């Protein structure tokens, strides 16, 4: 039997999701942050009762509310593998300008050096996921201990010590945003601001106002690469899987059999709005749709990121992490309404511990 505990932790306006396989002592974390409040994420990490050894940490993107707990994790846990989205120089520069946190600034510019300088665990591996225009891996899953430092989007990554009848995989996909990347390059070239990292840093500290004024000419909000992750069994098989859901503040869930539907789609802040964005997401993950029973609604339930098609099947548990009285008014009323109209099950996880949502997954063979 394969047993796993999946937890959507109570960090409010942020993201901190964990999967702990009790059958083989494998632990995965997807994102680790809380909006402008490191105390919330650090306290939740302490309360999470995680093993001191984390096998896999996946970061969706470099917004502070998804990553400001990373420094604490690196100092207090042995993290074996970290998956990051690959950033082009222009994207690194935008992350640097968008964030005031020095650790995040250093991380986006020099990720390997920054992580290795902080981590007490010197065997840590940093793995980058290439963008969706690369050739997608098509074949047998690759064991996490055997993958390269750069991995194609869509590669199935398997965890160690698995039963051959129930293969659990992680499938990361790094979506790029070409238009905004091109806009940054165009504006910076026009203003004669260098785009190579080392030259940009020198120029920035000598010409801060010029760089900031040029950056302000960009329309919209920061839209870095968003790394989406499927976690679940690789494909249907003849063995049954069960899910039990627990939350102190939500309507109690019955013990029920899902057969193969034990997967989760973690969406970070992915912008699924519009037909083109949906087609990109569907093209990457449609083969797993029949295996999913829970989705993390992107960007805390923002109406600007939600697409009706995300609730592609009845009774999908739809998780939204949002702070109590957050200034963004997340989740938006229209998002919750559309989830219900599409026969989804909306669950809001705040910084209040009783809203923490936990699944117990059991695959029988």
User: pLDDT by residue (tens digit) across 32-42?
Assistant: 999 988 999 99
* Mean pLDDT, range 225-231, rounded to an integer: 90
Domain shared by 245 and 326, yes or no: yes
Q: Which residues contact 317 (CB under 8 A, 6 or more apart)?
A: 245, 293, 294, 295, 344, 345, 347
Domain shared by 185 and 161, yes or no: no
Q: Which residues contact 74 (CB under 8 A, 6 or more apart)?
A: 115, 118, 119, 120
pLDDT at position 1: 65
Domain shared by 149 and 183, yes or no: no
Q: How are beta strands 78-79 and 292-296 bridged, if at all?
A: unpaired
Q: How are beta strands 357-363 and 241-246 bridged, if at all?
A: antiparallel
Confidence label for 163 from pLDDT (cuts 50, 70 and 90): low
Domains in the chain: how many in total?
2
Domain shared by 104 and 153, yes or no: yes
259, pLDDT greater than 70: no
Residue pair 358/17 in contact (Cβ under 8 Å)? The answer is no
> What pLDDT digit, counting tens, does each position of 80-125 carry?
999 999 888 888 898 888 888 889 999 988 999 999 898 877 789 9
Domain shared by 107 and 233, yes or no: yes
Identify the CATH number of the domain in which residue 358 sits: 3.60.15
Domain shared by 310 and 295, yes or no: yes
Say whether 311 sits in a helix, a strand or coil.
Answer: coil
> What pLDDT digit, counting tens, does each position of 126-156 carry?
999 987 655 555 678 999 999 899 999 999 9
> What pLDDT digit, counting tens, does each position of 187-219 carry?
999 999 999 999 999 999 999 999 999 988 887
Mark which of 222, 250, 283 sits at the end of a domain: 222
Domain shared by 200 and 146, yes or no: no
Cα separation, 310 vs 296, whole angstroms = 10
For the entire predicted model, the pTM comes to 0.93
284, pLDDT greater than 70: yes
Listed as own residue / partner, the contacts of 144-148 with beta carbons closer than 8 Å and 24 or more positions apart are: 144/55, 144/56, 144/81, 144/170
Mark which of 222, 244, 275 sits at the end of a domain: 222
Task: Give the range of the structural domain holding residue 198, as residue numbers without chain letter.
Answer: 178-222
Say whether 307 sits in a helix, a strand or coil.
Answer: coil
Domain shared by 294 and 331, yes or no: yes
Provide the 10 A C-beta neighbour count for residue 289. 15
Confidence label for 364 from pLDDT (cuts 50, 70 and 90): low
* Mean pLDDT, range 341-347, rounded to an integer: 95
Q: What is the mean pLDDT of the chain?
A: 88
> What pLDDT digit, counting tens, does each position of 269-281 carry?
999 998 988 999 9
Residue pair 129/86 in contact (Cβ under 8 Å)? The answer is yes
pLDDT at position 90: 87
pLDDT at position 252: 58
pLDDT at position 255: 46
């Amino acid at each position: 039997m394969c047993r796993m505990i999946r937890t959507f932790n109570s960090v409010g306006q942020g993201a901190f999701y964990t999967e702990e396989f009790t059958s083989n002592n494998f632990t995965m974390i997807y994102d680790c942050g809380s909006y402008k409040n490191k105390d919330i994420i650090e306290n939740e990490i302490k309360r999470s009762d995680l093993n001191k050894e984390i096998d896999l940490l996946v970061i969706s993107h470099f917004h502070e509310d998804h990553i400001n707990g990373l420094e604490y994790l690196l100092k207090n846990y042995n993290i074996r593998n970290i998956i990051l989205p690959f950033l082009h120089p222009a994207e690194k520069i935008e992350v640097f300008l968008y964030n005031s946190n020095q650790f995040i600034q250093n991380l986006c510019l020099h990720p390997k050096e920054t992580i290795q300088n902080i981590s007490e665990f010197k065997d840590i591996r940093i793995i980058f996921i290439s963008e969706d225009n690369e050739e997608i891996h098509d074949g047998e899953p690759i064991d996490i201990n055997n993958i390269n430092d750069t991995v194609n989007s869509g590669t199935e990554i398997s965890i160690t010590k698995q039963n051959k009848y129930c293969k659990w995989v992680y499938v990361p996909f790094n979506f790029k945003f070409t238009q905004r990347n091109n806009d940054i390059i165009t504006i910076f070239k026009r203003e004669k601001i260098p785009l190579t990292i080392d030259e940009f840093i020198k120029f920035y500290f000598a010409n801060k106002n010029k760089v900031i004024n040029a950056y302000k000419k960009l329309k919209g909000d920061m839209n870095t690469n968003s790394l989406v992750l499927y976690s679940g069994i690789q494909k249907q098989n003849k063995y049954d899987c069960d899910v039990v859901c627990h939350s102190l503040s939500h309507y109690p869930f019955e013990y029920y059999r899902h057969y193969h539907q034990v997967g989760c789609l973690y969406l970070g802040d992915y912008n699924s709005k519009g037909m083109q964005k949906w087609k990109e997401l569907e093209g990457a993950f449609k083969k797993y749709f029949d295996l999913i029973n829970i989705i993390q609604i992107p960007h805390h339930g923002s109406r600007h990121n939600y697409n009706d098609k995300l609730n592609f099947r009845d009774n999908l548990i739809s998780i939204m992490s949002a702070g109590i009285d957050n200034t963004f008014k997340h989740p938006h009323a229209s998002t919750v309404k559309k989830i219900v109209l599409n026969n989804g099950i909306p669950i809001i996880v705040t910084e209040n511990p009783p809203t923490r949502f936990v699944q117990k997954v059991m695959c029988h063979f």
